[in-house]
Amino acid sequence: MADRNASPTSTSSADSCTTVETAPQPPSRSSSAASPEMSTPPTSLGDEASVLSDPAKADLNTEMNAAGPVSPALHDAAAAQQPTPDASTGSRRPARSSRASVTTYNVQILAGTAIHTPTKYLEKHHKNVLHGSLEDLRKTNPAPSPKRRRSMKAKVINLDDIDDPAEAQLAIEAAQAAQRRNTSRLDLRKEAFRNLTAAGDAVGARGAGILSTVRNTVQNALRGASALSRSQNDQSDDATDQEEKQFLKPKTKNWEHQGLYIGQERTFDARRKESQNRLRGRVVKSKESKILPLPMFAGERMLSGDYQRDFKLPYDVYNPLPKKVKVDGWTKLSRNRFIGDSAALWKREKQDSSSCTCSPEEGCGEACHNRIMAYECDETNCKLTPEQCGNRPFAQLKKRAKGNKYDYGVEVMETPDKGYGVRAMRTFEPHQIIVEYAGEIITMEECERRMKQVYKKDKCYYLMSFDNKMIIDATRGTIARFVNHSCEPNCEMIKWTVGGEPRMALFAGSRGIMTGEELTYDYNFDPFSLRNVQKCCCGTERCRGVLGPKPKHQAQPSLASTFLTGTKRKLQEMFGSGSGSSSTQSSPKKRRLNGMNHAALTKKENALAQNVAAQEKAKKEAAEQAAQKASRENRALRRSSSMTLTTHRSKTVHTTSRRSLPSLLSKRQGALAATQRTPKALTRQLQHKASVGSLGKRVLTGKVAKLSGSRSSVLKRNVAARKDKGAAESMMPPRSPTPEDDVVMMDEEQEDETINITPASLRSAKRKTLPQTSLPFGSAKQTARRTSKQSATPASRAANTDPFEVPDSDDEGAVVEEAEGSEHPTPRTKRRDTMGTSTTATPSSAKAKKTPTRKIAVGHAPRGRKSIDATHVWEKKTGNVRDKKTGRFSKTTI
């Protein structure tokens, strides 16, 4: 070991393999150079103690300064003094480290792939091999400051000064590393200088002058280079310090410096797609002024108009959920799946063959037929390409699902009081599709079974009624199942037909959706039983308090609906007085209401019930108001009935004018026609009217008689009575029909029709009345003729007889009628029908006979006026002029 220690000191890093040359040893020390141990330098830290214990090595000083590398000349000299292994004796090749002149390279270092931290510096290594962990070392010897480190570099470190062997080792390694850094470049320069000197020697005195100039230049350059190198070193140290500082400092967000509009041009519209914004930005960019106006002039402008703009918050500002929410017990399905019998029972309706006729310019926009009907366009029903067509929301959704999560655009979130919810991760345009509501399609029976058995303890239900009386159960379904209810929602759940199949999806409302908004829609929730009524926590201004059904739209009460609300049945419904009646029992809605009433009484302390009670109260108040209104109407009805009936009894016609009577009669016929359709309803109505008095009873008898078969007898009697008094009547001053008259008639008719009238039927009736205005007079006349010939029964003909008209024997089969309720009588064409009785008809009335529902519109003045116009047109067209006295038409001969 002693001999080995006497070998030329060279330390090598196991990892770097770079030979570090140290000062040459005096020859005396290399006396035992031939010793084989000499060529075995300490290669492991295990040898460290022996190395450091060697006095020869302990004396060794390592130069650490930048100019430290030994010149090759010196190096060569030293090499010359080095004992060479005895060729004769040395059967062994000397160790590589002993060949001081040989420079070894580490390919990893040269390639830059070397690991920076040699194993020996690693914590574990130090712990095991050295004295304690690096951490402890660091504590006892705190790292020098960068300044001190620099000064240390300039110093020659005497290893004797270092007590701690580990630190000594580190110092040596650091010195070697520093030397390595500096030598490579400087060695090249020195090499160049040496070559020049050698060249000068070679060329002799002649070229010495030139070469000395060159040498001076090189020397200067070298000096500059070394200065540069030093400054570079300093700079690199500074850069390292900077880096360290950067590393320690927490990262700052861009938006903290640049504001909420970061990356958003002035033209940015948060509701548009990124691509659209980019496109828009490119167009408008050139116009934008880069200089901001002074605030004193711009304040108002910036607060309003074009300058007011939405911004998009960076995701990490609004995202309070850094972690993805994991929902237990949710099996994700991405499309509908039939369960049990549902597949067999499902009626696959063929999609209507209607196709849109949009042009590429229109691009299936708002006016697209398919869009209006909530049909998705595809190649079978739209001739545009997918790129041109703007009505393929489900296809769009499919494409989005393949993109990243921001394309998909929704994520589950946790709400404070509603459990999970769904939030937008992007903006959505108004009415843009967001996510499909898909799940298991089950039958009603299966739904009931699941409710009773599987979900009986659940508080959240994911059931939604679907097409074909089926239910979508999204307990296993898409993320749409988590969308919560709101009384003022920002989305809508809409059923679409896609490729002939119905599908449900959530669409953005008319306001669009901003990034980060919670998505909601109105559940219009049917709780099935009071036990399921849930308190609503939507927190909106118009919150209904419970997850209950939507209140019916409070439309402006039309004249017809006003009368509808006045009927007995409606009143009974509202007051619930007829709770024992079959009609009340049969209505599930009413059953629910009654149930809710009962529960509200029993659960006094329950806040939920209070809400329900409040709703009930509001409903009752509304009903009371309606009742008051109805009683006013009833009074009017009584007055009017008694007036009309009085005239009948006393056989004096002094309350109806010549003009109004026919219309009155035709209205009665309308009522009669209605009674034929709904005898039960009439009976109820008559029972109600019976309470009016004895006169009412007469009417009641009469009407019941009609029901039993002799429906026209009463009218005939009345007509006869009127005929008797025709002359007297014609003398009477004509009385314009009062609103009360109209009320009576409308009420009668409405009451008769009540059972069958729905808002839809009203609408359809309205629609049916409209075309008459555009009906060509001639065709109407023909229709009327046809109608009178084909459908008029003797009874109806009798009923239609105008008591004030003298039958005209000349015009056989003509139909004559006066516009009902018209203030201006329509010129009448009077024809005798085959039975010898005359009927009246206008274009409109002719049609009315075909469509009895039009009786609802009896008494509308505009119809009369329009008929007049039509007659005039006909007169003009045909050249026939009506004789006002006879009412006949004759050809004008001018």
Ligand X SMILES: C[S@@+](CC[C@H](N)C(=O)[O-])C[C@H]1O[C@@H](n2cnc3c(N)ncnc32)[C@H](O)[C@@H]1O
Binding site for ligand X (CB under 6 A): 418-421, 459-462, 481-482, 484-486, 534, 536-538
Task: Give least dist CB 480 to ligand X, A.
Answer: 9
Yes or no: say if 804 and 793 are a contact pair by the CB < 8 Å rule: no
Cβ distance to ligand X smaller for residue 439 or 803: 439
Task: Give least dist CB 605 to ligand X, A.
Answer: 20
Yes or no: say if 483 and 421 are a contact pair by the CB < 8 Å rule: yes
Task: Give least dist CB 376 to ligand X, A.
Answer: 25
3-class SS of residue 300: helix
Task: Give least dist CB 343 to ligand X, A.
Answer: 24
Distance (Å, whole) CA 31 – CA 3: 10
Largest CA distance in the chain: 166
- What lies within 8 Å, CB to CB, of 889 at 6+ separation is 829, 875, 880, 881, 882, 883
Task: Give least dist CB 459 to ligand X, A.
Answer: 5
Yes or no: say if 599 and 609 are a contact pair by the CB < 8 Å rule: yes
The CA distances from residue 413 to 158, 423, 640, in Å, are 65, 6, 65
Helix orientation angle between 607-650 and 568-575, rounded to the nearest 10 degrees: 160
3-class SS of residue 508: strand
Task: Give least dist CB 545 to ligand X, A.
Answer: 10
Cβ distance to ligand X smaller for residue 229 or 534: 534
Cβ distance to ligand X smaller for residue 268 or 462: 462
Q: By CB neighbour count within 10 A (0-12 exposed, 13-18 middle, 19+ buried), where does 266 fall?
A: middle
Yes or no: say if 12 and 104 are a contact pair by the CB < 8 Å rule: no
Cβ distance to ligand X smaller for residue 211 or 463: 463
Cβ distance to ligand X smaller for residue 549 or 825: 549
Task: Give least dist CB 437 to ligand X, A.
Answer: 10
Distance (Å, whole) CA 85 – CA 96: 12
Q: By CB neighbour count within 10 A (0-12 exposed, 13-18 middle, 19+ buried), where does 870 fall?
A: buried
Cβ distance to ligand X smaller for residue 255 or 455: 455
Q: Which of 805, 803, 779, 783 is nearest to 792 (CA)?
A: 783
DSSP secondary structure letter of residue 364: S
DSSP string, 647-710: HHHHT---SS-TTHHHHHHHHHHHHHHHHHH-HHHHHHHHHHHHTT-HHHHHHHHHHHHIIIII
The dihedrals phi and psi of 630, each to the nearest 5 degrees, come to -65, -40
Task: Give least dist CB 523 to ligand X, A.
Answer: 7
Task: Give least dist CB 491 to ligand X, A.
Answer: 13
Both tokens assigned to 20: 């570090």
Cβ distance to ligand X smaller for residue 536 or 672: 536
Both tokens assigned to 377: 């366009």
Task: Give least dist CB 399 to ligand X, A.
Answer: 26
User: Which amino acid, residue 504?
Assistant: M
Chain-centre distance for alpha carbon 176: 65
Residue nearest to ligand X (CB): 419
Cβ distance to ligand X smaller for residue 320 or 557: 320
Task: Give least dist CB 420 to ligand X, A.
Answer: 4
Cβ distance to ligand X smaller for residue 483 or 513: 483
DSSP secondary structure letter of residue 452: I
Cβ distance to ligand X smaller for residue 410 or 775: 410
Distance (Å, whole) CA 813 – CA 787: 11
Q: Which of 70, 82, 78, 73 is nearest to 39 (CA)?
A: 82
Yes or no: say if 599 and 530 are a contact pair by the CB < 8 Å rule: yes
The CA distances from residue 669 to 205, 530, 652, 716, 829, in Å, are 145, 47, 21, 12, 21
Cβ distance to ligand X smaller for residue 6 or 435: 435
Gyration radius of the chain's alpha carbons: 52
Which residue has tokens 């008259």? Answer: 741
Cβ distance to ligand X smaller for residue 421 or 827: 421
Cβ distance to ligand X smaller for residue 422 or 623: 422
3-class SS of residue 331: strand
Task: Give least dist CB 346 to ligand X, A.
Answer: 23
Cβ distance to ligand X smaller for residue 461 or 496: 461
